[in-house]
Amino acid sequence: MNLEKFGFLEEHVPIKNTYKIKGQTRYLLHPKTKEQLLAFLKEQKNTNIPYFILGGGSNIIISDEEYPGVVIELDNLNKIEYQDNFVYVESGVKIQKLCMDIIDHNLKGLEWASGIPATIGGAIYGNAEAYKTETFKYLKSVTYIDKSLNIVTKKKEELSYGYRTSFFKEKKENIILSAVFLFPNGIKEESLKLIEERKKRRIESQPLEYPSAGSVWRNPSNETPTWKIIEELGLKGTQIGGAKISLKHGNFIINTGNATGNDIRNLIQYTSRVVKEKTGIELKLEQEFKDW
Ligand SMILES: Cc1cc2nc3c(=O)[nH]c(=O)nc-3n(C[C@H](O)[C@H](O)[C@H](O)COP(=O)(O)OP(=O)(O)OC[C@H]3O[C@@H](n4cnc5c(N)ncnc54)[C@H](O)[C@@H]3O)c2cc1C
């Protein structure tokens, strides 16, 4: 399969991920347009070469071995367009960029996301959320490629979203191309102040000085938050290889320097097992293993 016709192609390169695991991919493809992405997907159906979509790499745990397929980055899908309070945004745009861009257009609604290294595609996929505000709050619709390779637009109400999940996380075969949000009017100075406050809170409570991928596990509903369960069991500081449960935040695993994907996997499995044995609680993973 000649991949060069589907966009800018790189070979044997690292897979961007915020854990800074040193896994790489045989091919990294940056389609220049959604047509190129569609053309790749059509040909992929005949060859069955494995592929996956990479957003900001901030919620995944990759393998240490080279991925034998095509990692696709949608960084060229980066348009933002405005019509009054409606904002059309393509899935490769970073949520932090969109946050600042809408503020410049005197809108508000993404201040909560200013510390989250996600793309819009990744944020919609997992319905990223902080400070009780979720990605879906101001979302109106999403346009995506479905498994039959049709381009489909669905309203927010049709996308079964919930706490750190959405239709896209449940049905992994769809590729998010773009979204439309409807943001309220805002005042720039107030938004910037809120961002500063949020930033301060994150620095105080999260181990941002180390590579991580945010919260490892979901919080059990109506129960003690995961960080507290881990703290109360004395599991903070547990280390396997280069992976360690942060002393600052019990729901963060950090890479202390040379963590492999396997170290992180082993630490997750060990911690989940101890929590289950000692409390009966079955922790649910929020991060996602990209295995091969
Ligand atoms: C320091 C730090 C703080 C964080 N804080 C928070 C927080 O407060 N709240 C929160 O919710 N999360 C947080 N996270 C986790 C993470 O940023 C979010 O889960 C984010 O939404 C992941 O987006 P991403 O673009 O990095 O996706 P990736 O990690 O690249 O991918 C995640 C999944 O989405 C899929 N995907 C990505 N783009 C598309 C697309 N266009 N179409 C279809 N599938 C796609 C990928 O294939 C993968 O399965 C934090 C992470 C870090 C490192």
Domain ranges, ordered by start, for the chain = 3-73, 80-192, 207-290
Q: Establish whether 215 is a catalytic residue.
A: yes
Cα 292 to Cα 133: distance, rounded to the nearest angstrom: 34
Annotated catalytic residue: which of 73, 90, 134, 286? 286
Closest C-alpha to ligand 1, atom 8? 130
Q: Which residue has the tokens 């091919």?
A: 27
H/E stretch holding 142 = strand 139-145
Q: Establish whether 164 is a catalytic residue.
A: yes
Write down the pLDDT at residue 126.
Answer: 97
Q: Establish whether 189 is a catalytic residue.
A: no
C-alpha 186 to ligand 1 mean position (Å): 26
Burial of 192: CB neighbours in 10 Å, binned 0-12, 13-18, 19+: middle
Q: Do residues 245 and 234 make contact, with C-beta atoms less than 8 angstroms apart?
A: no
C-alpha distances (whole Å) from 228 to each of 34, 59, 279 are: 44, 21, 12
Closest C-alpha to ligand 1, atom 39? 121
CATH of domain 3-73: 3.30.43.10
| Ligand 1 atom nearest residue 126's Cα | 21
Closest C-alpha to ligand 1, atom 36? 122
| Ligand 1 atom nearest residue 164's Cα | 11
CATH of domain 207-290: 3.90.78.10
Cα 249 to Cα 97: distance, rounded to the nearest angstrom: 27
Annotated catalytic residue: which of 164, 166, 178, 191? 164
C-alpha 58 to ligand 1 mean position (Å): 5
The first and second tokens of residue 19, run together, are 């854990």
Annotated catalytic residue: which of 63, 114, 166, 215? 215
Which residue from 86, 5, 83, 87 is spatially nearest to 38, judged by alpha carbons? 5
Write down the pLDDT at residue 152.
Answer: 98
**Whole-structure pTM value:** 0.97
pLDDT truncated to tens, each residue of the chain (292 aa)?
899 999 999 999 999 999 999 999 999 999 999 999 999 999 999 998 999 999 999 999 999 999 999 999 999 999 999 999 999 999 999 999 999 999 999 999 999 998 999 999 999 999 999 999 999 999 999 999 999 999 999 999 999 999 999 999 998 899 999 999 999 999 999 999 999 999 999 999 999 999 999 999 999 876 789 999 999 999 999 999 999 999 999 999 999 999 999 999 999 999 999 999 999 999 999 999 998 9
For residue 257, the one-letter residue type is G
CATH of domain 80-192: 3.30.465.10
**Cα 19–Cα 22–Cα 23 angle in degrees, nearest 5:** 105
Which residue from 160, 105, 99, 106 is spatially nearest to 133, judged by alpha carbons? 99
Write down the pLDDT at residue 143.
Answer: 98
Q: Do residues 48 and 4 make contact, with C-beta atoms less than 8 angstroms apart?
A: no
